Amino acid sequence: MSVQTLLVYCTCPDRDSAERITRRILELGLAACVNQLPGVKSCYIWQGEIETAEEVLLLIKTTDDRYLELEQIIVSLHPYELPEVIAVPVKRGLPDYLFWVEQCTNQPS
């Protein structure tokens, strides 16, 4: 496998924003798959205060080659002032699945 696969985490405040972001990144070929996990309870510090929110977690499967464009699209569509966008390298995985991710994201948008 020549391309680094990434798992990108992104939380959204609601299903509508999660769906809008998911659809756009798939349309642009920036991800092979996005899982939407509703009902995530997030606790975090924002502007010196402890906050709690119900969110939708996106698990985005992409490649390192497409990450920067993916990040830009998420930031442009996301309603948060500072959205969570964290990319974790996939060290191992089913080779055929990782190849599929590479093939799906191997097209310029």
Residue 78 placed within a domain: yes
- C-alpha dihedral, 42 to 55 to 94 to 90, nearest 10°: -50
Split into its structural domains, the chain has a count of 1
Residue 99 placed within a domain: no
Which H or E element spans position 33?
strand 33-46
Short-list 40, 45, 43, 35, CA closest to 8:
35
- Percentage, residues of the chain above pLDDT 70: 96
Residue 103 placed within a domain: no
Structure confidence by residue, pLDDT tens digits, 64-96: 999 999 999 999 999 999 999 999 999 999 999
Short-list 53, 71, 52, CA closest to 9:
71
pLDDT of 52 above 90: yes
Is residue 39 within 8 A of residue 18, CB to CB? The reply is no
The CATH number of residue 21's host domain is 3.30.70.120
Residue 85 placed within a domain: yes
pLDDT of 2 above 80: no
pLDDT for res 67: 98
Residue 45 placed within a domain: yes
Residue 27 placed within a domain: yes
Residue 44 placed within a domain: yes
pLDDT for res 1: 47
- Mean pLDDT, the chain, whole residue set: 95
Range of the domain at 22: 9-92
pLDDT for res 109: 52
Is residue 69 within 8 A of residue 109, CB to CB? The reply is yes
Residue 3 placed within a domain: no
